[in-house]
Structure 1
Amino acid sequence: MAGLDFSRLTEQTEHSSSLAAAVLTGENRIIVIVIAGVALAALVVAQLLVRQVLAAGEGTASMKKIAAAVQEGANAYLTRQMRTLGIFAVVVFFLLLLLPADNGTQRWGRSLFFLVGALFSAVTGYLGMRLAVRSNVRVAAAAREATPAAGAPERDLTTVAHRAMKIAFRTGGVVGMCTVGLGLLGASCVVLVYAADAPKVLEGFGLGAALIAMFMRVGGGIFTKAADVGADLVGKVEQGIPEDDPRNAATIADNVGDNVGDCAGMAADLFESYAVTLVAALILGKAAFGDLGLAFPLIVPAIGVLTAMAGIFAVAPRRSDRSGMTAINRGFFISAFISLALVAVAVFLHLPSSYAALDGVTDPAILAHDGDPRILALVAVAIGIVLAALIQQLTGYFTETSRRPVRDIGTSSLTGPATVVLAGISIGLESAVYTALLIGLSVYGTFLLGGASITLALFAVALAGTGLLTTVGVIVAMDTFGPVSDNAQGIAEMSGDVQGAGAQVLTDLDAVGNTTKAITKGIAIATAVLAAAALFGSYRDAIATAVVDVGARATETNLSMDISQPNNLVGLVLGAAVVFLFSGLAINAVSRSAGAVVFEVRRQFRDHPGIMDHTEKPEYGRVVDICTKDALRELATPGLLAVMAPIAVGFTFGVGALGAYLAGAIGTGTLMAVFLANSGGAWDNAKKLVEDGHHGGKGSEAHAATVIGDTVGDPFKDTAGPAINPLLKVMNLVALLIAPAVVQFSYGVDASPAVRAVVAVFAAVVIVGAVYVSKRRPVAVDGGGSTPRRAPGHASVP
């Protein structure tokens, strides 16, 4: 990482300061108003899709009863979580008021829109969960039509499968439309109200979205995987009963977890990806393209909203399709191709042919650029769209049941769980390298478009992120499709009302859903890296502005990002270490909670022997309560780590080391997130492969081995892995917000070593205390003193 040239940065800061008085021109204001209208249209389409989904039948009375229990558990958990997060949001609101800002308008706007971003993120997650718990039973009911009652005419299996898939995907379409609609609406409102102050205000909007998403992702992930792991280990491995057998006390909690983790958590996660990428694009757009830079970055995702509608409705399965993924791929690529074509039209209609013609830009490096801004914008957006398509295909290769990696894991099950785990880890590690290369080449390719201007180069990276955003509507639909299909299979199995061909339809949909969830996690981490790389430019400019404002010396060692300096190298290592610590805390939280679930389910089987012969009913509520308490209890430590670690590094080692810290976190986080997501997805589908009859099928030693692999992969792919995505953006935004304060108290004329030391020590103590408290929590121990019963042909789990 090269050292910062502060003489040049100061000059650029002085040039860009003239933009502070800029306002949106009449033409651009109209464009932003139209974009806000497009955002509202997305919400209208979401409502229309809701009606289509809810018009489907709900199946039998037994299916409705089980679905109602899942709904009740999911609503209860999210209500308690929202109360907890609401207190946290209010505290951060007041803390943001204490941070430096150019004026009171920016300070209050930043804090207010922090609450708006947090609210929109929470609403997106809640709406995703709300509809998912109502549509899952409808998907199960649609699949049930494949097995008609005695004397009824035979139903065409393909038609039934397509109907079930359409309901599940349209449910995801609702969440997708809400995600892009609320994200675009929030950003548009900030630009309309605050104009030139919008970039600073958007920092608060992005932080609110990212923080709430991280908490929902971590909390929901702990809940869902504790229940899932506990249900699998006791039910499948020890008792030899199916995954969603109603005799298993953890089944309701498992289905609740699919909704609060995979639906609510991932919906909020992708919303904050959308919001933070727009934040980065608008911050850099103002500096690079002047007034146009506050409108054009909104035009691209607005086009994505329109094409997402086309993509969602294009997912209509055909008889010629090889699998459900064929139909989903078709919708994705239709959306991507139309997006690229419409962006090309918008670029040549909206942007001038030379940089000298950009209104409000005074940076000599940009004005002297001899290229065409239209080409830069179009190529950058195209790179983002192509990146999404390549990651979609690459992730599919490593996680689909029909591809060699998953089949190799399935074959390894013949030699036991150890080789299954080893095979999954190797596939995850390998796939992370290829994904990181794709993301790295995309960032570098867009960076080269800027030529001699670092501002243009970083804006090009941000535009690539907006290009990737054009696919988010379909991507969110793909993600929600997974847990809805999983829940539908669970309801069908628990009720016993879906047999034969109908059960196979749901099994096939669930396998497709595992792949779509892995794909969305890969694309989410790509947006995180693009947004973080673009935010680096904003961080760099924030340092330069602070240097001018407080009169700091440009020769200060701690102001440089030169990686050869020991303090910066320490920052780089700490950034990488935080990702490992964050992942370890999340996985350990699942391990502790899952242990408590295992012992509770074992206790119920031991104390109530009538459960196995259906003469007694399990106490489902006890497991739901265990998962709820543990998930909410474990929220604090990862959240405090994400917020306090950048503060501790910045006030201890300086803003240069803090920049290196972010670089270390981004590099390590990219590899770790993809490794965890893809290995977990591959293990899950390897289990599905065996359950479909390969290598001995259900009840075999191979099946037990893949269940163990799947339980290892559960917290990988659904807790720690996806939570790294918001973690990176939270840390980047916190660093961006505190950079002026670090410069002021460290290097300015009013520098105060005492204040700096107090803040650094306080942040470090909070981190150490939170980790200590987390590690002190006990691991569940079975008080019954009995060993679990062992089902024939199944390995016992100690």
Structure 2
Amino acid sequence: MDLSVLFFQIVAIIIALLAFGEAFWLYKWVVSRPSSNPRISEVGKLIQNGAKTFLSKEYKVLTRFCGIAAVIILILLPSPIWDGNPYNNILMSLSYLFGTIFSGIAGKIGITIATIANIKSAEASTKGIKPSFMAGFRGGAVMGMAVVGSSLLGVTLVLLLTNNTTALLGFSFGASSLALFAKAGGGIFTKTADISADLVGKVELGIPEDDPRNPAVIADNVGDNVGDVAGMGADLFDSNVASMAAALVMAVSLDRVKGGSLNASMVFCYAAIGLLASIIGVATARMGKNGSPTKALNSSTYVTTVIFAILTAVATYAFHFEWRIWIASAIGLSVGVIIGIASDYFTDDSKKPVHMVAKASESGPAFTILSGISYGFMSCLPAMAGIAVSALAAYKVCEPLGDGYAMFGISMAAVGMLSIVGMIISNDAYGPIVDNARGLVEMGNLGDEALEITDSLDSAGNTVKAITKGFAIGAAGLTVIALLGAFISEVNNAAIELGKETITGFDIMNPVVFFGLLIGAAIPAVFSAMLMLGVERNAQRMVAEIHRQFKEIIGLKEGKEGVIPEYDKCIEIATDGSLKELIPAGLFAIVTTLLVGFIGGVQAIGGFLTGNIVSGLLLALFMSNSGGLWDNTKKYVESGHHGGKGSDTHKSAVVGDTVGDPFKDTAGPSINTQITVVSLVASLMSTLFLTMSLFG
């Protein structure tokens, strides 16, 4: 192995270990915050136990699935075990399992800290907004540092130990497949509970959001952790690994042609600097005594962005990297920020779209839905245009460097966009932590002032969460375009070995390509429908259970002292239902990819991936932004506008939020993982599709 790439791999490992060190320090800091309220401690324990129970049951199901997948990979990949070198098949299977384990650990770390930080943030709210904010943010930052440290360490170790980029794709596929099911399962759980609690509590009975009388309230708080913490952590872990894997596949291929290891060195260097920038950003994040939580979260993101841009420019100069590739990564990073700002405009409750949807809600829920859908579709253009412009600009900037560099430029734009992912995850995990804290404040009767503080923190969390989702989807867009380039590289490597013709692109006038294009475009829609139908079926069961408890438990509706609902029944319904629903949607996407590949070969798969990317990005952006818009419309009305809580406008806004919940927290963010999974399946199966297809 070239000494220069080895140097940067060692640097990457050191910075990953630094991130773990910061995560440990932040964890100890959060745990050391005072907490003495017995009621909050009791409810916090219920949330913690519910989250742990769900995660252990989910991981048991996924362990069986991943075990079967590992055996299939062992037999078939990278080529059938009876045709090729069994060592390569063993390596691929182990890399896949390694990816699933790392992804699973990321989710576990997130759940552990989030269910501690919510208690600390709730109790700190009695001392002011600053200590409550810091407990929530630093709790989220534990996950941010751990997830990105794990992804950088995992990718580096796989390539260092195997020196095999196909094994790296296996590692990425392991991370993606676990993330797909973790995000889907967590998303179904959280929205089952959220919808049920809102419909029965707010709409039917007119009781507050986190009223302890509501049997679904603990399941709702558990859902915030398993969906928005564990699920989103696995999702962004997968995106980060996939972007590095795609870039490294192309970098190693380019280095092989040109000699040396400059391109692979650059990928490791930029990824390591991105994590270092996030470490500094998290360490310096602060909020004034009476400051704005939204401003504090956004300013730390901008600080991280500037640090990354400066340090990568210095590294490019010092190590004689190509400036054009630095420009490509800077374009990706800039567009990521622009996509985040666009998502913020359409979802922030201080901006016009939320106010217009709140106004429309005065005329009934139909107008809430119509206006929300309309603004959701409008919000897609800035992000889609941003992804298109960044891909085109990165391609054109790097094209003069020679064959293969144009697609490598796009992959480096994805690496650039995801360079600050440590800060993005920290901000994202902050949201559900303070959402839980708000519920704990209400259930612990800490007073109106504490409730006002946690409402403010929760609102900031919703706004920033919409930004991070837009950012994650944008990054996934660039990553899967880069994975399309990695797929072409894998196909051409196999074609050269087999003496077949190589490919440079896909002609949509070719009926085989067009066949794949149409099928690929339909997959995200059906995948989303399967997840949302899972939420709907599960929520109906939970609503029936809530009605039963209010009817059969004497004194529950009146809130008589000592009368406690059966919280565990609702947690059980959400857990069992989500585990039952999570596998079919993921399998549908994977099996369809295999069918298209074996029918139409690599040309059909090229069309399939293109259609899947375009349709998937559009739907993911639409659902994430419209869901965030409806959520903040409800909060805007609840803050006293257009009639406030209990009004007909409020009931309409709750219905909008109910529709938006599975949009933004189940289907929307799961689609980018689905796109990544099918792209990786295509790359890993490229040799088989090249040699064993009906019309290829």
TM-score by length of 1: 0.84
Instruction: Find the aligned partners of 1:28 and 1:606 in 2 and give their Cα distance.
Output: 67
Match of 1:654, SS? helix
Q: Which of 381, 386, 404 pairs up with 2:334?
A: 386
Q: Is the 8 A contact 1:314 1:330 kept in 2?
A: no
- Is residue 107 of structure 1 aligned with residue 89 of structure 2? yes
- Is residue 259 of structure 1 aligned with residue 206 of structure 2? no
Aligned to 1:340: 309
Paired residue type of 1:338: I
- Is residue 476 of structure 1 aligned with residue 425 of structure 2? yes
Aligned to 2:516: 571
Aligned to 1:191: 159
Q: Is the 8 A contact 1:642 1:731 kept in 2?
A: yes
Q: Is the 8 A contact 1:458 1:537 kept in 2?
A: yes
Q: Which of 643, 646, 650 pairs up with 1:696?
A: 643
Aligned to 2:125: 143
Q: Is the 8 A contact 1:106 1:200 kept in 2?
A: no
Match of 2:288, SS? coil
Aligned to 1:122: 104
Q: Is the 8 A contact 1:576 1:667 kept in 2?
A: yes
1:691 deviates by 0.9
Instruction: Find the aligned partners of 2:49 and 2:160 in 1 and give their Cα distance.
Output: 40
Q: Is the 8 A contact 1:518 1:681 kept in 2?
A: yes
Q: Is the 8 A contact 2:193 2:574 kept in 1?
A: yes
Paired residue type of 2:9: V
Aligned to 2:184: 218
Q: Is the 8 A contact 2:125 2:450 kept in 1?
A: yes
Q: Is the 8 A contact 2:130 2:287 kept in 1?
A: yes
Q: Is the 8 A contact 1:281 1:459 kept in 2?
A: yes
Match of 1:477, SS? helix
Instruction: Find the aligned partners of 2:136 and 2:501 in 1 and give their Cα distance.
Output: 59
Q: Is the 8 A contact 1:59 1:140 kept in 2?
A: no
Aligned to 2:30: 53
**Following superposition of structure 1 onto structure 2, how do residues 673-688 of structure 1 map, counting pairs within 5 Å?**
673-688=620-635
**Following superposition of structure 1 onto structure 2, how do residues 218-617 of structure 1 map, counting pairs within 5 Å?**
218-290=184-256, 291-318=261-288, 321=291, 323-351=292-320, 374-451=322-399, 453-496=402-445, 498-552=446-500, 561-615=506-560, 616-617=563-564
Match of 1:295, SS? helix
Match of 2:399, SS? coil
Instruction: Find the aligned partners of 1:62 and 1:411 in 2 and give their Cα distance.
Output: 39
1:552 deviates by 3.8
Q: Which of 631, 640, 659 pairs up with 1:712?
A: 659
Instruction: Find the aligned partners of 1:729 and 1:421 in 2 and give their Cα distance.
Output: 30
1:560 deviates by 7.2
Paired residue type of 2:586: G
Instruction: Find the aligned partners of 1:449 and 1:337 in 2 and give their Cα distance.
Output: 21
1:293 deviates by 2.4
Q: Is the 8 A contact 2:630 2:656 kept in 1?
A: yes
1:654 deviates by 1.8
Instruction: Provide, for residues 322-347 of structure 1, a one-character-per-residue CA deviation record: whole Å limited to 9, x for no partner.
Output: x3111111100110001000000111
Paired residue type of 2:517: L
Paired residue type of 2:553: H
Rate the CA distance shift 1:99–1:28 in 2: closer, same or farther, 3 A: closer
Match of 1:611, SS? coil
1:614 deviates by 2.3
Match of 2:377, SS? helix
1:554 deviates by 6.7
Q: Is the 8 A contact 1:246 1:495 kept in 2?
A: no
Instruction: Find the aligned partners of 1:537 and 1:377 in 2 and give their Cα distance.
Output: 16
Computing the radius of gyration from Cα coordinates, the structure with the larger value is: 1
Instruction: Provide, for residues 367-417 of structure 1, a one-character-per-residue CA deviation record: whole Å limited to 9, x for no partner.
Output: xxxxxxx22121011012101211221111111111111111111121111
Aligned to 1:16: none
Match of 1:402, SS? coil
- Is residue 625 of structure 1 aligned with residue 569 of structure 2? no
Paired residue type of 2:160: L
Q: Is the 8 A contact 2:47 2:222 kept in 1?
A: yes
Report percent identity of matched pairs.
38
Aligned to 1:34: 11
Q: Is the 8 A contact 1:546 1:744 kept in 2?
A: no
1:29 deviates by 1.1
1:454 deviates by 4.6
1:310 deviates by 1.8
1:319 deviates by 5.3
Paired residue type of 2:44: A
Paired residue type of 2:434: S
Aligned to 2:143: 175
Q: Is the 8 A contact 1:313 1:331 kept in 2?
A: no
Instruction: Find the aligned partners of 1:572 and 1:704 in 2 and give their Cα distance.
Output: 42
Instruction: Find the aligned partners of 2:341 and 2:471 in 1 and give their Cα distance.
Output: 11
Q: Is the 8 A contact 1:191 1:294 kept in 2?
A: no
- What are the ranges of 5 or more consecutive residues in structure 1 without an aligned counterpart? 1-23, 146-159, 353-373, 747-752, 758-798
Match of 1:682, SS? helix
> Which segment is superposed worse, 389-398 or 251-260?
389-398
Match of 2:194, SS? helix
What is the root-mean-square deviation of aligned Cα atoms in Å? Answer: 1.6
Instruction: Find the aligned partners of 2:370 and 2:692 in 1 and give their Cα distance.
Output: 50
Rate the CA distance shift 1:460–1:103 in 2: closer, same or farther, 3 A: farther
Q: Is the 8 A contact 1:286 1:292 kept in 2?
A: no
1:168 deviates by 0.6
Instruction: Find the aligned partners of 1:104 and 1:29 in 2 and give their Cα distance.
Output: 27
Instruction: Find the aligned partners of 2:505 and 2:289 in 1 and give their Cα distance.
Output: 61
Instruction: Provide, for residues 290-349 of structure 1, a one-character-per-residue CA deviation record: whole Å limited to 9, x for no partner.
Output: 52222210111211111112211332112574x311111110011000100000011122
Match of 1:449, SS? helix
1:135 deviates by 0.8
Instruction: Provide, for residues 599-632 of structure 1, a one-character-per-residue CA deviation record: whole Å limited to 9, x for no partner.
Output: 1101111222410122332111111110001000
Instruction: Find the aligned partners of 2:505 and 2:450 in 1 and give their Cα distance.
Output: 63
Instruction: Find the aligned partners of 1:510 and 1:376 in 2 and give their Cα distance.
Output: 41
Instruction: Find the aligned partners of 2:351 and 2:422 in 1 and give their Cα distance.
Output: 26
Instruction: Find the aligned partners of 1:663 and 1:456 in 2 and give their Cα distance.
Output: 20
Instruction: Find the aligned partners of 2:490 and 2:326 in 1 and give their Cα distance.
Output: 28
